Amino acid sequence: MTQISNQVRLIGYTGAETQFKTLDSGQHMANISLATKEYYRDKEGNKKDRTEWHRIVAWGKVAENMNQLVTKGDQVAVEGKLTHRSYEKDGETHYTTEVVVSDFVLLSKQEK
Which 3-state string (H, E, C) describes 65-77? HHHHHCCCCCEEE
Check residue 64 and report its DSSP letter: H
Does position 45 have pLDDT exceeding 60, yes or no?
yes
| Domain-located, residue 1 | no
- pTM to 2 decimals? 0.83
Does position 4 have pLDDT exceeding 70, yes or no?
no
Cα separation, 17 vs 33, in Å, equals 9
| Domain-located, residue 22 | yes
Task: Give 49-87 pLDDT, tens digit per residue.
Answer: 999 999 999 999 999 999 999 999 999 999 999 999 999
Which of 80, 81, 72, 84 shows the shortest CA–CA distance to 34? 72
pLDDT band at 35 (very low <50, low <70, confident <90, very high): very high
Which of 9, 5, 6, 4 shows the shortest CA–CA distance to 105? 9
* Residue 90 main-chain phi, psi, to 5 deg: 55, 40
pLDDT band at 1 (very low <50, low <70, confident <90, very high): low
| Domain-located, residue 52 | yes
Cα separation, 17 vs 65, in Å, equals 13
| Domain-located, residue 100 | yes
| Domain-located, residue 2 | no
- pLDDT, position 29: 97
Mean pLDDT of the chain: 93
| Domain-located, residue 3 | no
> Whole domain around residue 102: which residue ranges?
12-108
Inter-residue contact 58 to 68 (CB < 8 Å): no
Which of 97, 63, 62 shows the shortest CA–CA distance to 83? 97
- Give the number of domains in the chain: 1
| Domain-located, residue 48 | yes
Q: What CATH number is given to the structural domain containing 78?
A: 2.40.50.140
| Domain-located, residue 7 | no
